[in-house]
Structure 1
Amino acid sequence: MTQTRIHNLSISLDGFATGEGQALDAPMGHAGMRLAGWMFATRFGAPILERSGGTAGVDDAFAQQNEPGIGAEIMGAGKFGPPGWQDDPDWKGWWGANPPFHTPTFVLTHRPRPSIGMEGGTTFHFLDATAVEALDAASAAAEGRDIRIGGGATVVRQFLAAGLVDHMHLVQVPIVLGRGVRVWDGLEGLEADYDIEAVSAPSGVTHLTFDRKTA
């Protein structure tokens, strides 16, 4: 059965998944690399920064679950590019000619543009759509495989609020950001809908998995 999944979503102790001041030279705003540092240290994450090696263990085991079974991705405008990317007709995302998604990828934006085919099987489609409409489009493209909600925090919150997320892997990082974009606002009582497990890692992060309860 097709599921809607979130993986490797890092948040601070005070609930921020993105720092303030996102820009071309600061994709995560003032948070810098601190939220995702645990992942980039793993075997899964090191190649993203064109590094070799990386750690095995708990963090890598969770990070690796990001890929299997995914047939399409949905992301927000803030994950695709810095503020103002819609004004640059040549902007094709942060990831170069061969983005790491390798599937149809739907970017939610109020200013759609023609689809962009990239190397490695990624095609970016730009939609001005609700969460439900975007999920319908992604499901049609996924050909029976799962849909990944890739972020950022605002898009994740929209899908959680709409009750559209079946599985979420969230990573609580022991830092306090104080400002940025929070995940939990408006989601009071969310925990009642999920079975939740927590695993602490030697790196200092805590992996939280949320699986929707079945009737």
Structure 2
Amino acid sequence: MGHHMYITGEIPWGDDPPFHMPVYVVTHHEREPLVKEGGTTFHFVTEGPEHALALARKAAGDRDVSLAGGADLVQQFIRAGWLDELWLHVVPVLACGGRRLFDGLGDQQLEWRKTQVLDSPEATHIRLRTA
């Protein structure tokens, strides 16, 4: 998880965040792990996204690891080739700012195939897998 996502979610999630598993927050701010109800523990990783991914993979065992964060963190994972699936959640709200998800990826050739589209009144959810 990106640091900004953690900061913006910490108060709304309250004492029982929806994760119910270890969460590794990529940050420059050292702090002790934060234990919440329901099995969620936030671990603050200052050694970079690759180290956070290694910790998450170890904790997950044979289960999947999910990435949650803003465009900067997602771009780092895309550039490193660490994503095999990407879920985009498109909400019809003009935010007038922020970082474009697919900018800054250099000359890297990206090939994704659409595997699922779910449409609702609130958002469109698009599931992509690497080709």
Band the TM-score falls in, shorter-chain normalisation: 0.7 to 0.9
Change (3 A) 1:101 1:198: closer
Q: What is the count of residue pairs matched by the alignment?
A: 130
Instruction: For 2:27 and 2:49, locate their aligned partners in 1 and report how far apart those are by CA, in whole Å.
Output: 12
**Match runs of 1:146-185 below 5 Å:** 146-185=64-103
Q: What TM-score do the two structures reach when normalised by structure 1?
A: 0.53
Q: Give the deviation of 1:102 after TM superposition.
A: 0.4
Counterpart in the other structure of 1:93: 10
User: 1 or 2 for the larger relative contact order (CA 8 Å, sep ≥6)?
Assistant: 1
Matched, 1:103 2:21: yes
Query: Secondary structure of the residue that 1:149 maps to in structure 2?
Result: coil
Change (3 A) 1:119 1:194: same
Matched-pair contact (CA < 8 Å) for 1:131–1:162: no
**Match runs of 1:35-54 below 5 Å:** none
Identity of aligned residues (%): 37
Counterpart in the other structure of 1:76: 2
Matched-pair contact (CA < 8 Å) for 1:198–1:206: no
Matched-pair contact (CA < 8 Å) for 1:81–1:93: yes
Matched-pair contact (CA < 8 Å) for 1:113–1:126: yes
Q: Once the two structures are superposed, what CA deviation does each residue of 1:44-72 show, in whole Å capped at 9, x if it has no partner?
A: xxxxxxxxxxxxxxxxxxxxxxxxxxxxx
Matched-pair contact (CA < 8 Å) for 2:4–2:70: yes
Q: What TM-score do the two structures reach when normalised by structure 2?
A: 0.83
Change (3 A) 1:116 1:173: closer
